[in-house]
Structure 1
């Protein structure tokens, strides 16, 4: 029986962000302290995942599965395996270090800056533990907007150019992936008579070769942009160069691995 540990790990950064937004903007030290406390808490609550994970067991562990939007076949469905465990722990640790490193580096729009990092952390964790395609896609998109603002507001001299380029590339990949997901979703209804976004069910579909090729390329390009792979890589040098140091750390250590994770998982 689940004790909602994955949900706690997932939403701790988001809860920290909501409290952060209530703090007075004039008290910069309090904002910095709380942001670091929230990020540290996010790492600490993820540590039990390591000790409770059974490396000899097969399949996903600590599963949470509830109906969310039954009419559409959407479920709140979380689980973790060896791959996602490593990536979640990397996310919570690097997320904390990135926020800690910003203590003296950032001095303007502090509330918004730290809020973007905490929101982005929830999105990245959600990508790694979602077992429902709808949920996966929501968290995939949650990561996009914070990084756009991190680059575009707190970046270097060419920050706006880099942010827009990052946004357009990743948005194009997201649209293609969404179309691929919807194709699987509708094919499942056509073959089985009911809707579902469960990843395990959609990946078992037997489809015509032409449709399989379309879905493959939709996902491939979506993930290749995130990795990024040639020839979809040109957004990365600008993003790395113009992003603040903490944003560049998140890009290199976690965000790019979302694409690699997609290739491994799907």
Structure 2
């Protein structure tokens, strides 16, 4: 089923590209139907899920050098796959203004669906790398062809930055494979062997390559500068995918490669990684607070929230504290990935609604939206409160686990990181006050259209999951089972 969840969207993308007679509405309907298939398949995989690594599928590809089409899931990859399928379905279903080249737009969305799920399910390092690079292609075209403003420049910067990072990742993958007793790219074998455990400088350089490569994708300070222009100039659904799914490829890679394949080396360098994570938390929050552009403000909160995720991963990889604390931090990091995907994905769709109505993201051009668009206001308020970590919503569950683990392992870093939560609360409350409850401006003194029925349906589905995780997280925590992902002996 995992292979079908990857290949069916790819086949759907190719089919749409080869059917010029389809109109925009027909292309959208077909894309929604295809995007729903992976979600259904993954729900079936979840029903039969029995632990790591499950639902394994393997077909030889280049057997002489140990490369194969290997697919499988543990609790972390399955939960991220389910979240990604939800975000992609929402992005495809999100109604857009009349689109130029609509078939190609929906084809690229389906292409990204397939390669993104393929990356999370890959159990072969080369297959992982192939999907990692293919995701850059899909997002490059979505930003460059359907974006606005300086979209071409933003797409190019995104592609060059992340491609440079992926080359560092490839070097690390090759060294890991060659360090095995018998050359293989099977992730399960590399995790079991941990081949660079006693390699000194070589292991440290490989770790550095992975940290930089995955740090760019995440993104971490100071290699985050590609992110704000990419978000601001991308169409709303593309921004939702970029924040909701593609950024998680970086943190997921850290879990798989740093934490599981290089546990000894990572434990020696976990503190510097945690320090960079806390800097990202604070930098993202403070810079976001200073943004007057709605979409740019939301973009910088991603730097802040992914900093929480990396802090949790660094705590999990540390040799300090207790195993329970490290497992708790890793659980929080994974829940943060899922919560951020749903919450910030929703926020970017909401920002896209502003662009579709007024082609303007400047917050000081808006005011009093609550009086004319109560549905939009309700969705924005719920997503904002979830993003700032209000109890009863998904963000709180994630941050509680991360900081409980971090206070055991790195108490001073955890205390400093808490400042980021205060600043995040301030920036979202200020945004809500100004845009939705402030004085009516020229942009809203006429009728400002509220959310349509389709928009309400999409946002309701995503935000309902945010509430469900916040109120009853047990089902997700049981699925993730972060303790099982910790390296043996941790």
1:110 to 102, 120, 124: 102
Tell me how far apart the structure 1 counterparts of residues 245 and 24 of structure 2 sit (CA, whole Å). 27
Decide whether the 8 Å contact of 1:39 with 1:92 is kept in 2.
yes
Q: Distance in 1 between matches of 2:212 and 2:62?
A: 29
Is 2:171 the counterpart of 1:183? Answer: no
How far does residue 66 in structure 1 lie from its aligned partner after superposition? 2.6
Pick which of 208-217 and 36-45 moved more: 36-45
Q: Provide the rounded CA distance (Å) in 2 between the counterparts of 1:32 and 1:263.
A: 35
Cα distance in 2 for residues equivalent to 1:41 and 1:186:
38
The SS at the match of 1:238 is: helix
Give the deviation of 1:21 after TM superposition: 1.9
1:74 to 67, 86, 93: 67
Residue number in structure 1 paired with 2:14? 18
Question: Which runs of no fewer than 5 residues in structure 1 stay unpaired?
Answer: none
How far, CA to CA, are the matches of 2:98 and 2:208 in structure 1?
40
Residue number in structure 2 paired with 1:230: 221
Instruction: Give me the TM-score of the superposition, normalised by structure 1.
Output: 0.91
Q: Find the residue that maps to 2:220 and give its secondary structure.
A: coil
Q: What is the CA RMSD across the aligned residues, in angstroms?
A: 1.4
Matches within 5 A, 1:40-51: 40-51=36-47
After superposition, where does 1:192-231 map in structure 2 within 5 Å?
Answer: 192=181, 194-203=182-191, 204-206=194-196, 207-231=198-222
1:165-209 CA-partner distances (Å, limit 9, x unpaired) = 101110110011011111122222xxx2x3211123334214521
Is 1:137 the equivalent of 2:140? no
* Residue matched to 1:263: 254
Change beyond 3 A, Cα 1:26–1:7: closer
Q: Residues 118 and 131 of structure 2 are in contact (CA less than 8 Å); yes or no, is this contact kept in structure 1?
A: yes
Match of 1:60 in 2: 53
Aligned length: 254
Report the alpha carbon displacement of residue 106 of structure 1 after superposing the two structures with TM: 4.7
Among candidates 30, 35, 41, match of residue 39 of structure 1: 35
Runs of 4+ in 1 over 3 A off after TM superposition: none
Q: Is 1:28 aligned to residue 24 of structure 2?
A: yes
Unaligned 5+ segments in structure 2 are: 258-490
- Shift of residue 233 of structure 1? 0.5
Task: Give the secondary-structure state (helix, strand or coil) at the position aligned to 2:179.
Answer: helix
Q: Distance in 2 between matches of 1:182 and 1:41?
A: 34
Per-residue CA shift, 1:56-91, capped at 9, x if unaligned?
x4x211111232111121011111111111111111
Higher alpha-carbon deviation: 201-210 or 228-237: 201-210
Matched, 1:94 2:82: no
Distance in 2 separating the partners of 1:25 and 1:238: 34
Aligned 8 A contact 1:25 1:111 in 2: no
- Counterpart-to-counterpart distance in 1, 2:137 and 2:188: 28
Alignment correspondent of 1:155: 147
Structure 1 residue 25 displacement after superposition: 4.5
Q: Is the 8 A contact 1:185 1:196 kept in 2?
A: yes
- Scaled by the length of structure 2, what TM-score is found? 0.50
The whole-number CA distance in structure 1 between the counterparts of 2:169 and 2:216 is: 11
Q: Would the aligned equivalents of 2:124 and 2:187 in 1 still touch at CA under 8 Å?
A: yes
Offset at 1:42? 2.6
Q: Secondary structure at the match of 2:100?
A: coil
Question: Would you say the 8 A contact 1:23–1:31 is kept in 2?
Answer: no
